[in-house]
Amino acid sequence: MRGKDKLQFIKNNRQLIVGIGSALVDILIHEKDEFLKKTGAVKGGMTLVDKETIERTLALSSDNASIVPGGSACNTIVGIGKLGGAARFVGRCGKGDMGELIERDLRKQNVEPVLFRSDSPTGRVLSIITPDAQRSMFTYLGASAETRPEDISETNIISCIINGNYFFPTAWCFILSLTCQVKQNPGDPV
């Protein structure tokens, strides 16, 4: 098989890959180490914060921020979509502009978005990149923290397994499953 025939064969035999994770936006700025000290960011670390902390930190920045969809599952699925794979991302985001940005960009990257919407703001990660390429992050989980096991439907997981497709969960999926066990069997060891 060569050329166009091989490409058509690949397109016809793609397996859907589903990623389930936090629907976040990454806000990227470039600053010097002094900026980290001024804002209390831990160099190379990640700190959970509220949305206002991210907004205050952005107001202090002299850089123009780049805003893109983020989260490990989302980034992985976007890579698959960019490479021409059949890709779906499942997550929860807010109803506002940041949620719309995630949906729009996923479609642009050849990813089918399955996004649960919330009245809470979309989660975001402010990534402060220093000249040595270290990323220091302030993370606000926002709506993504509201995802519950019952939100993840049979369509998104079980059908992928039955049809021989692939499923890419992030660590929080494991935590959600533990939550279900605790709810079903209170007092049992997890």
DSSP H helix total and E strand total for the chain: 7, 9
Structure token pair of residue 40: 């209390």
In CATH, which of 3.30.450.20, 1.10.287.130, 3.40.50.2300, 3.40.1190.20 is domain 16-184? Answer: 3.40.1190.20
Q: Do 161 and 16 meet the contact criterion of CB atoms below 8 Å apart?
A: no
Q: Which of 7-11, 105-109, 144-148, 170-174 has the highest mean pLDDT?
A: 105-109
Q: How many CA atoms lie within 13 A of 145 on its CB side?
A: 11
pLDDT, position 181: 44
pLDDT per residue as tens digits for the range 102-147: 999 999 999 999 899 999 999 999 999 999 999 999 999 999 988 8
pLDDT, position 186: 44
In this model, does residue 169 exceed pLDDT 60? no
pLDDT, position 157: 58
In this model, does residue 158 exceed pLDDT 70? no
- The pTM assigned to this predicted structure is 0.76
In this model, does residue 172 exceed pLDDT 70? no
Whole-number Å distance between alpha carbons of 36 and 57? 10
Domain boundaries along the sequence of the chain: 16-184
Between 68-77, 108-117, 132-141, 151-160, the lowest mean confidence (pLDDT) is in: 151-160
Q: What is the DSSP letter of 177?
A: H
Mean pLDDT of 33-62: 95
More confident residue, 187 or 17: 17
pLDDT, position 155: 55
Mean pLDDT of 44-64: 95
Q: What pLDDT band is residue 148 in, cutting at 50, 70 and 90?
A: confident
More confident residue, 74 or 10: 74
Q: What is the DSSP letter of 141?
A: E
Which residue is it, tokens 């936006």? 25
pLDDT, position 101: 96
Q: What pLDDT band is residue 15 in, cutting at 50, 70 and 90?
A: confident
pLDDT, position 5: 73
Percent of the chain whose pLDDT exceeds 90: 56
Q: How many CA atoms lie within 13 A of 4 on its CB side?
A: 0
